[in-house]
Chains A and B, each alone.
Chain A
Amino acid sequence: MSESLHIQGGRVIDPVNGIDEIRDLFVQDGRLVEKKSPGATLIDASGKVVTPGLIDIHVHFREPGQSHKETIETGSRAAAMGGFTTVVCMPNTNPVADSPATIAWIQEKAEKTACVNVFCTGAITRGIAGEEMAPIGALAAAGVVALTDDGHCVQNHGVMRRAVEYAKQFGLPIMDHCQEATLSADGVMNEGEWSTRLGLPGWPSLAEDLIVARNILLAEETGHPIHCQHISSARSVRLLREARRRGVPITAEACPHHISLTDEGLKNFDTNFKVNPPLRTQADIDEIIKGIADGTITILASDHAPHAPYEKEVELDKAPFGMLGLETEIAVFLEILLHQRKACTLPQIIAMLTVNPARLLGLDCGTLSLGAIADITILDPDLAWKYDKNDSPSLSRNTPFHGFSLRGRAVQTIVDGKTVWNLENGFSEQG
């Protein structure tokens, strides 16, 4: 059944074990093993980088309820094509993932259709409505890896405080989309020069900063980890930096679009650039990159958010927020962080896509240790390529990166010891 692999001659980067050297890896029965098995399939990784399977803790696979945008199957294929072996789904499905039944449905669907590992988050509040606590204990028992009302930031601080306190007994981290709703109001893009020029309602950084500050205080008060999702603002980074220096259990993630695109992208009213939180300014980008480089931001994620073409092809203020991300994610991170800005080393970037998210959520992956499950990504960090959205396995096409020339991409994705995708041959049949 499970084949044996001999991954030969690659630069193996395994941050959790401090490994960065040319060596061979061996896989048998879905696990990393010490020695080559007889008849192992040879994978020539010379000139490539071999890493633990990449983890993306922020994706929207839209099932149940919105399978016209994406399914767990198609989303997982996009993940595999992007080099990701593990993803964590947000709970804003229909119905909302706020009950063990819905979690079980998603897990079963993933078991049957996904070609990568799919973990669930559960909602903090019922219906992500921000009012009543969701059945957190039951969600924990059902196997969610974190709690979040992603996209519907809990506005009531009393409710949020109780939820954090309550979640602590289950060791379930809280992930928060930081957005104070009275300040973001009906904003559709960053409040600044471009919203002024375009006459579009602004969504100010202040609305993010205020909730980041709230979360820092709550994490400090409760001693329970809170993770701030997709940080977009410079001041949020500074708040987080200061808090982490003091040892507050607060973490943060950055997305590819928030380090590569500015609000100027909206000047032609292209809805593919409409995302929440919005694209901001070069100064914000610079501070986020600085935060990634200095350890303020420790996790990289995509916020892969598919929307059907007809939903996006409307007036900008009517279009839903969000963009695809999984296929371009590693390329944009490598292009910006490694090649252009030289802000991080390759092992640092890999850590932010493997061991760091695995540790936050207590996932049993993100390492190449002997005996570990053989989730492995092979990357060519220098490969120059041009992204064509029409090659995407996603059901949607809402990306601002179409036609971008990027350096670096995954060339092979191995889940549980099996190759599910490689650049040369595409998806494996059983994928």
Chain B
Amino acid sequence: MKKIWNSKDLCALADHSEEELRVILDTATAFKGVGERNLKKVPALRGKTMVNLFVEPSTRTRISFELAAMRLSADVVNINASASSLEKGETLLDTARNLEALRVDLIVIRHKSAGSARFLADRLKASVINAGDGAHEHPTQGLLDAFTIREKLGTLEGVRVSIVGDILFSRVARSNIEILTKLGAKVTLVGPPTLVPKTFESLGVRVAHNIDEVIGESDVINLLRIQHERQKTEYFPGLGEYTARFGLTRKRAERLKPECLIMHPGPMNRGVEIDSQVADGRRSVILDQVTNGLAVRMAVLYLCSGGAPFATITAS
């Protein structure tokens, strides 16, 4: 059978077809079972070396990739920027070339520059996996969000997903938009016009500036973190006003459909974009997202290393 996944890299969901994205999700379904077993390890990537090149701080994504690689029996090295030569002025390309000279097979990169993963992927023989490049994409987050919705609702076709928050600076939003629209969901972006400009409509989504208009119709509501570290008061007056206008308060949560999924990519600011009790409530799938992230990352590492898609195996 024709192999559907042919890429050594995963830089952006925008680069991949609906069919390819489904292959990743199907492969992730197969890998999810591994994490539920007593013996949480398969030999798929035995002998391969993966480097976590995190030039921007992250805990959750880095650990998720690290565990994913371990469960596939790969060897893992973590590099963080403050301890690397990048601090001494070495270029990203030189750092990556050095890793390649050490015969690293997979480089997982998080970097503040949009396009940095693609930049490396075009220049290295090693597989490059994007773990977040500036405000561009965070492909595995988009995949795990789509995976979670599909797992809970059975499909993405026609599902109404509202993504709320700082869309302009969000790579999570962009990867979500890419995969959700490709797989048939109806996406609405919600936030103040400064953070959700109308230009997003050219990506095939709806833009709304009033959360109360969309809250009752959503099948999924995905609350993005308001990023304190780059919050500039020129975009909105302050967290209090943000919560009042766009926060998922308990009162607003009452108006959600009973079966609406509540998602958040983490880390949460309890009481800002999401009420604390709502975050822990019955409809919240926030921790399922974390669990699924591991399965999705196993699938991505496996496929980019040349593994046969599981969907293909089961179908043949």
Residues on A facing B (Cβ under 8 Å)? 191-193, 195-201, 268-269, 313-318
Contacts and interface: CB of A to CB of B under 8 A. Distances in A.
B233 interface: no
A316 B133 CA distance: 11
Interface residues of B, number: 24
B10 to A, nearest CB: 16
B92 interface: yes
A199 B111 CA distance: 13
Contacts of B118: 268-269
Interface string B69-96: 0000000000000000000000111000
Contacts of B133: 199
B316 interface: no
B113 A196 contact: no
Contacts of A199: 114, 133-137, 169, 171, 174
B202 A193 contact: yes
B115 interface: yes
Contact of B111 (A192, A193, A195, A315): A315
A201 B116 CA distance: 14
A197 B135 contact: no
B174 A197 contact: yes
A269 B203 contact: no
Contacts of A193: 199, 202-203
A391 to B, nearest CB: 24
A198 B203 contact: no
Contacts of A195: 199
A197 B12 CA distance: 11
A192 B203 CA distance: 11
Interface in B134-187: 134-137, 169, 171, 174
A314 B92 CA distance: 7
B30 interface: no
A314 B135 CA distance: 17
Given A196-B197, A197-B203, A199-B171, A314 B93 contact: yes
B136 A318 contact: no
Contacts of A316: 113-115, 119
A313 B93 contact: yes
A70 B119 CA distance: 25
Contacts of A268: 118
A199 B176 CA distance: 13
Given A269-B119, A313-B93, A315-B92, A196 B200 contact: yes
A314 B133 CA distance: 14
A261 to B, nearest CB: 18
B69 to A, nearest CB: 25
A83 to B, nearest CB: 34
Greatest chain B CB density within 10 A among A198, A268, A315, A317 is at A315
Contacts of B93: 313-314
A192 B199 contact: yes
Nearest to A195: B199
Contacts of B111: 315
Contacts of B197: 196
A155 B200 CA distance: 31
A227 to B, nearest CB: 32
Contact of A197 (B14, B91, B116): B14
Interface string B91-134: 11100000000000000000101111011000000000000011
Contacts of B115: 198, 200, 269, 315-316
B12 to A, nearest CB: 9
A273 to B, nearest CB: 12
A419 to B, nearest CB: 42
A313 B14 CA distance: 23
Contacts of A197: 14, 174, 202-203
B161 to A, nearest CB: 18
Contacts of A198: 114-115, 136
Nearest to B91: A314
Interface in B12-52: 14
Contact of A196 (B119, B134, B137, B199): B199
A314 B95 CA distance: 12
Given A200-B134, A313-B93, A318 B113 contact: yes
A317 B203 contact: no
A162 to B, nearest CB: 30
Q: Which 6 residue pairs across A and B have the least CB separation, nearest first? A: A269-B115, A199-B135, A199-B136, A315-B113, A193-B202, A199-B114
Given A197-B202, A199-B136, A200-B136, 12 more contacts: A193-B202, A197-B174, A198-B115, A199-B114, A199-B137, A200-B135, A269-B115, A313-B93, A315-B111, A315-B116, A316-B114, A317-B113
A156 to B, nearest CB: 21
A192 B200 CA distance: 9
Contacts of B203: 193, 196-197
Contacts of B14: 197
A254 B200 CA distance: 30
A269 B91 contact: no
23 contacts: A193-B199, A195-B199, A196-B199, A196-B202, A196-B203, A197-B174, A197-B203, A198-B114, A198-B136, A199-B133, A199-B134, A199-B135, A200-B134, A201-B135, A269-B115, A269-B118, A313-B93, A314-B91, A314-B93, A315-B111, A315-B119, A317-B114, A317-B134
A281 to B, nearest CB: 11
A201 B136 CA distance: 10
Greatest chain A CB density within 10 A among B114, B118, B134, B135 is at B114
B312 to A, nearest CB: 29
A104 B92 CA distance: 40
Contacts of B116: 315
B40 to A, nearest CB: 34
A200 B202 contact: no
Nearest to A188: B114
A311 B136 CA distance: 22
A315 B174 CA distance: 19
A200 B92 contact: no
Contacts of A201: 135
Greatest chain B CB density within 10 A among A192, A198, A200, A318 is at A198
